Structure 1
Amino acid sequence: MMTDEEFEELAAADSVGALSDDERRLLELEAARDPRRAEQLLEARLAAAAFAETVPAVDPPARIRAQLLDAINDEPPARSRRRRPWFVLAAAVAGLAVIGGGFYAVATQFMRPGAVVALDEIESATDAASASADLPSGGEMTLHWSESLGQAVMTAEDLPDLADDEQYEMWFVRAEGPVSAGLVDHDGAHPTALIDVEMQEGDIFAVTVEKTGGSESGAPTSDPLVVIETS
């Protein structure tokens, strides 16, 4: 599991566009699992975008990226380590003043939730697919996936509210049994949730109601709310 320090370092690097696609996807997955980390990531991106918006756009020096990466990777004394990510972020944003509006456009793009980013990637894939099932409330749940990307996202319309001590948990049902695919942060009737395990061919998608935090046994404890076949 990613530590808080590792997450903060990646968030700082992300805010200045210094992550690879794989690193950014890992960061988005961590943020999707933890509301506290999601807020930290958003704050980092907003800080970078707000600063960049206040300066004019000019061509950056060729050395600027190398300098920023050196600053991000530079290890400080142990007593200042906890402050390093946000100090680096401030220094990096200051250095990016020469980039101006162009960087702001990139940062704005990065501020979208991880599930939304993944859904866009899935829908742009050549093998994009989706399947839906009706909800008892009269709404609908849809699973969007791409086998080539190994990614899946759940969207829902009119998802019923739950008790304070309950939470929706997603599952992939396979020959060897059900595998938890993550929890749904149900903060509205139309949630979008990123599946946090790689999808496999023939997976059956299901959603159950569990205690907050998910099933302690690692297996569903209630009948599925919906079942969606992916093949």
Structure 2
Amino acid sequence: MNERDFADLAAGHALNALSEADERAYQEALAGNPHWSSHVRDATDAVAAISATIEPVEPPASIRASLLARITDLPQEGTAGPESNSADAGDYAAAGPAPVVSEPSAPTLTTSGWGMRRWFTLAASIVAVLVLGFGAVTVSQQLTRPASVVALEQITTAPDAQSATATMPGGAVATAHWSASTGQSVLVTEGMPTLPDDQTYELWFVRDDTPIAAGIFSTDAEGKATAVLQGEFHSGDVIAVTVEPAGGSPDGTPSSAPVVAVATA
């Protein structure tokens, strides 16, 4: 068994979709090649990510039946053709070699035992996604969402979620969202001035009068941004924003007064 074949089995194992024979082959291959365990982790993490992003919904029985019917219709390796009649065979032998007639060849699906297993693993994966809630598009959207949006959702759904808003003199609005239980904080802005290419906005935790750098961010054409503060939020922190050279403060300390400061206590 090569590593690609093992990766296929690992996917089936994570989905509880292996036959007894394939499960034994999977376990034996893993025992003999412990360095392949990364495929096991990847498959397990993928299944967990899918199951965590959508609500379970029972699919119609017709979907499962349709998928299984499609698998059944696939050509099987070693399928015997029509049995030949021995008497007919004798007649052909007596008649001599038959003329060879060329006919257009139909597309064929060449599969080994492992190839068929890949088809089964793919079908099992589709069934798993359907059972989890018809969520192919939803899963894709969930897994590709910006980290800032995911963090904001985690904060706002936490039991101790809090927020506060500050308005700048020019009318720009900045709202800080935080949760002590998750240790996360996010700043959402609207109407922030657009900066030249050689400048950027930088986030800070101000803790006991000490500024702690928490990442840089930029806004869109309308001054909007959703920015995660890097580092763990502590209750009572002031969330501040300064304008710094492109790339952030060169010495790790603010080079100008904050343009936004939101108290969290």
The answer to whether the superposition gives a TM-score over 0.5 is: yes
Q: What is residue 207 of structure 1 aligned with on the other side?
A: 241
Q: What is residue 217 of structure 1 aligned with on the other side?
A: 251
Pick closer, same or farther for the CA change 1:216–1:202 going to 2, 3 Å: same
Q: What is residue 166 of structure 1 aligned with on the other side?
A: 199
Paired residues for 1:1-231 under 5 Å: 16-18=46-48, 58=64, 96-101=125-130, 102-104=134-136, 105-175=138-208, 177-188=210-221, 189-231=223-265
Residue type at the aligned position of 1:16: A
Say which SS state the counterpart of residue 195 (structure 2) adopts: coil
Q: Measure how far apart 1:144 and its partner are.
A: 0.3
1:175-205: per-residue Cα shift (whole Å, max 9, x none)? 2621011111323421100111100121111
Give the whole-Å Cα distance in 1 for the aligned partners of 2:256 and 2:176. 20
Show structure 1 runs of 5+ residues with no match.
Answer: 1-8, 25-55, 61-91
**Aligned residues with identical type, % of pairs:** 40
Task: From the CA coordinates, give the structure whose radius of gyration is larger.
Answer: 2
Say which SS state the counterpart of residue 99 (structure 1) adopts: helix
Pick closer, same or farther for the CA change 1:228–1:176 going to 2, 3 Å: closer
Give the whole-Å Cα distance in 2 for the aligned partners of 1:161 and 1:223. 18
Give the whole-Å Cα distance in 2 for the aligned partners of 1:199 and 1:109. 25
Q: Is the 8 A contact 1:205 1:228 kept in 2?
A: yes
Give the whole-Å Cα distance in 2 for the aligned partners of 1:109 and 1:169. 27
TM-score (norm 1): 0.59
Q: Measure how far apart 1:224 and its partner are.
A: 0.5
1:87-124: per-residue Cα shift (whole Å, max 9, x none)? xxxxx978734435435133322222111111111111
Residue type at the aligned position of 1:96: S
Moved more, 113-122 or 183-192: 183-192
Q: Alignment RMSD, CA only?
A: 3.2
Pick closer, same or farther for the CA change 1:155–1:167 going to 2, 3 Å: same
Higher relative contact order (CA 8 A, sep 6+): 1
Pick closer, same or farther for the CA change 1:137–1:118 going to 2, 3 Å: same
